[in-house]
Structures are given as C-alpha cells and as structure tokens.
Amino acid sequence: MAPKPRPPRIKWHVIVFLAPAVLVYTAVMIYPLFNTLRLSLFTEVDQTRVFVGLQNFRTLFGDAFWSDHFWNALANNFWFFLIHMLVQNPVGIALAAILSHPKLRFASFYRSAIFIPTILSFVIVGFAWKLILSPIWGIAPGMLDAVGLKQLYAPWLGKQEYALTALSLVSVWQFVGIPMMLIYAALLSIPEGILEAAEVEGITGLSAFWKIKLPLILPSIGIISILTFVANFNAFDLIYAAQGALAGPDFSTDILGTFMYRTFFGFQLQLGDPHMGSTIASAMFAIILVGVCLYLFGIQRRMHRYQF
C-alpha cells in the first residue's frame, strides 16, 4: 500500500517576511479605500450618521448643483489627461529616442537635466510658474518681448479658456522625464542583434525606429499610458498650489481632486461634508478602475498577441 502523501508544509518564513508589508499596505491603502466606500453610503442627520445606500450617488449625478460641478470637474480632468497623452508621452518618446543614440555627447547630462523637475515639490513648481506667468512681476512677458513675440503673451492663468491648458503644460514640463526614462530603458533593452540585422537590410535612422524599435517598445508605451491615466485622474497638488481650492478662475481648472477636497474638508464658507466627499472619491475610484480594466483586458491582450 502506497504511503499517503504528506500535507504541504506551511512556509512560515514567507508569512513572516510578507506580514509587515501586508499590514502597512492594509493600513494605508486597503482600509482607507473601504472606509471611503462605507462613508459614501451614509449621511449626517441631526449629528447622527444614517445609512442612505446609494442616495448620495443619486444626489451627485441627479442634483443640478452637484452634477454641474461634477461633470465640469470630470471634463477638465479628461482635458488634463488628454494633453498629457498627446504632448507629454510623444515628447518623452522622442527625447528617449534622441538620448539613446550612441553618438550623442553629454547624453547623461541631458537626461539628468530633463528628469530633475520630476523630483521637485508640487508646491515649488506651482508657485514658481505662477510667478513666471504673472503679468505684473513675471518674467514671461519680458522673455517673449526679447524675441519679438510679446503680442502672444496673455495672463494665461487668469483666463478661463487658457488656465487649465497652461497648468497642463506646466505638469507636462515637470513629468516628461518619467516617460523619457521608461522608454529610454526599453530602447536599451532591445537586443543588438535585431538592430544589426535591420542595418544589414538597409533599415537605419528614423526608418529603424518606426519599423523596428517602436513595435518592440509598444508594451512599455502601454504601461506609460495607463500610468498617465491613473496619475492624471488622481491629480490635485499642482492645481491646488497654483489656483487654490476654488480652482479658478470660475472653476475653469477644477478637477475631480480639487472638487473632492473642497467637498470633503470644506473651504471658506462651504462646510465640509465627508459623506459627499467620499461619494466623489468613490466615483473617482470607479472611473480609474474602469480605465485600468479596459487597458488590462483590451489593449494589453492585443499587445500580448502582437508581441508573441
């Protein structure tokens, strides 16, 4: 009679090593997330917390006051994200392609110079650019005047039609180093044999980038795109530092992050409402979750099939 197989031993050392990280992650990520979802199902009546189910969501999407602010913030968020996708990521890819050229001198210096703004504080960047673009004491009018383009200057942060685009481009300037470095690493990981074979076939220069390198770095571009989506729909710091919690002028730079902050904590004469603030935060989570799932189950699968 064959001996019975022994039950698998519990690997206690794995549990011991993972436990601290799991506990910290649960305390700072998982618990706040579920607590936010829980708060969105309640409201305050006579200083008593009352369960109302999805009523807060019906208020957010159905009440004219709340829905107007929400859809305005969501539209601004999409515009903020779109500028990053159409400007930041293509510029980052172009910079990575240029800096990965083996004959380029001082490439390390250029990479460091472009990446330095990424490590700067949002408060410093927002305040500095607010000073630079100021029509009173900023240096932007003088710099444009020096090259004969002063007629192009406008108080961009003070005009509703320009403010959000101007702040989006400031954010692009700050974070273009991230896609640049990720794509640069992807380009360096391409086997030399492939490039040499392409060179033998007469594929060099821009043709080699479009036909050989770009298809091979598509997975990295997909990762950068989803990171850009998540980061921009979680954005808050730069808008708050430059335009304040009211995200002026006249809420033209208001995004979901500032709308949620203003609702949750209150601002000036507006009292804070943690339950409606949690409702907005839950809606933000749902939007980000849907975007990530579309990427993982749609675009990523196609890239995987294309790659293999």
CATH number of the domain bearing residue 262: 1.10.3720.10
Q: What is the pLDDT of residue 11?
A: 76
Asked whether 172 and 205 are in contact (CB, 8 A), the reply is no
CA distance 217 to 168: 26
Total residue length of the chain:
308
pTM exceeds cut of 0.85: yes
At residue 118, φ and ψ (nearest 5 deg) are: -65, -30
Judge whether 31 lies within some domain: no
Asked whether 207 and 97 are in contact (CB, 8 A), the reply is no
Judge whether 2 lies within some domain: no
Judge whether 22 lies within some domain: no
Count structural domains, the chain.
Answer: 1
Q: What is the pLDDT of residue 308?
A: 47
Q: Which class for 234: exposed (0-12), middle (13-18), buried (19 or more C-beta within 10 A)? A: middle
How is residue 63 annotated by DSSP?
Answer: S
Judge whether 47 lies within some domain: no
Judge whether 82 lies within some domain: yes
Q: Which domain holds residue 207?
A: 55-307
List, in sequence order, every residue forming a beta bridge with 50; answer none if it has no partner. 43
Closest C-alpha to 224, from 176, 173, 287, 288: 176
Asked whether 161 and 167 are in contact (CB, 8 A), the reply is no
Judge whether 173 lies within some domain: yes
* Whether pLDDT at 77 is above 90: yes
Give the model confidence (pLDDT) of 86-95 as tens digits: 999 999 999 9
Give the model confidence (pLDDT) of 208-242 as tens digits: 888 888 888 988 998 899 999 999 999 999 999 99
Alpha-helical (H) ranges within 84-150 are 89-99, 107-115, 122-132, 140-146
Asked whether 273 and 200 are in contact (CB, 8 A), the reply is no
Judge whether 21 lies within some domain: no
Judge whether 288 lies within some domain: yes
